[in-house]
A and B are shown apart, each in its own frame.
Chain A
Amino acid sequence: SQTIHQWPATLVQPVGSPLSLECTVEGTSNPNLYWYRQAAGRGLQLLFYSVGIGQISSEVPQNLSASRPQDRQFILSSKKLLLSDSGFYLCAWSPKGGGGGYTFGSGTRLTVV
């Protein structure tokens, strides 16, 4: 069966520090991968998605970047965190094609102080 792993679960980082959040998927190949962010009390915002290795699409301009070095690995990064980067970050995957559902990871709660 397919599983998605996301870590760490919580993170407290100072302003100006770098960030690296990792997400891996098991039990499938060539998935679509996604990073979402949820600010406190608000809906989920799609940040990045990827349909293949090295292929990244950014949905909103921001202080973050994403990379997909391997088929089932998706990384969210920042060189210098801002206070506004605080939030709940979720990774998700979906199979290719129009009918498959998304499976979300358990999320990382990032607090920038």
Chain B
Amino acid sequence: DAKTTQPPSMDCAEGRAANLPCNHSTISGNEYVYWYRQIHSQGPQYIIHGLKNNETNEMASLIITEDRKSSTLILPHATLRDTAVYYCIVRVGGLQGGKLIFGQGTELSVKP
């Protein structure tokens, strides 16, 4: 199973872009990169996922390098409510749908 490496914590100023990096150097060709976040005492919330192309939705953008060994989640205008633990996950498994294995994530603190 491909593993991910994330910095344990990051700070970001309110209104600025938050760029959260993730390394997944052992990712295989059919594995997706997923990002979730967990606000304290709540269930994780899906943010975005991608396979090889960059993706954007109303919450964030996902930039995946051409060799797919790393990715960056971008929150374009961070707010205080974006303070959370952000998990980068590589999804394992086959056609039945794979398991999401969570690491320790990055604790993002958005400061006024």
Residues of A near any B CB (own CB < 8 A): 32, 34, 36, 42-46, 49, 51, 59, 88, 90, 92, 94-107, 109
26 pairs from A and B in contact (CB 8 Å cutoff): A32-B96, A34-B99, A44-B38, A45-B102, A46-B100, A46-B101, A46-B102, A51-B96, A88-B41, A92-B100, A95-B97, A96-B96, A97-B95, A97-B97, A98-B94, A99-B32, A99-B51, A101-B46, A101-B49, A102-B44, A102-B46, A104-B43, A105-B43, A106-B42, A106-B43, A107-B41
- For B91, list chain A residues within 8 Å (CB): 98
**Option from A44, A49, A98 in Cβ contact (under 8 Å) with B102:** A44
Given A94-B97, A101-B34, A101-B49, 9 further pairs, Cβ under 8 A = A43-B102, A45-B102, A46-B102, A49-B99, A97-B95, A98-B98, A99-B49, A99-B51, A107-B43
A98 to B45, CA, bound (A): 18
- For B44, list chain A residues within 8 Å (CB): 44, 90, 92, 102, 104
Q: B42, B87, B99, B103 — which one has the most chain A CB atoms within 10 A of its CB?
A: B99
Interface residues of B in 44-92 (CB under 8 A from A): 44-46, 49, 51, 87, 91
Question: Cβ of A104 and Cβ of B45 under 8 Å apart?
Answer: yes
A101 to B104, CA, bound (A): 19
A101 to B36, CA, bound (A): 9
Q: B91, B103, B104 — which one has the most chain A CB atoms within 10 A of its CB?
A: B91
A43 to B101, CA, bound (A): 10
| Chain B minimum-CB-distance residue to A95 | B97
> Is B93 interfacial (CB-CB < 8 Å)?
yes
A87 to B49, CA, bound (A): 28
| Chain A minimum-CB-distance residue to B92 | A98
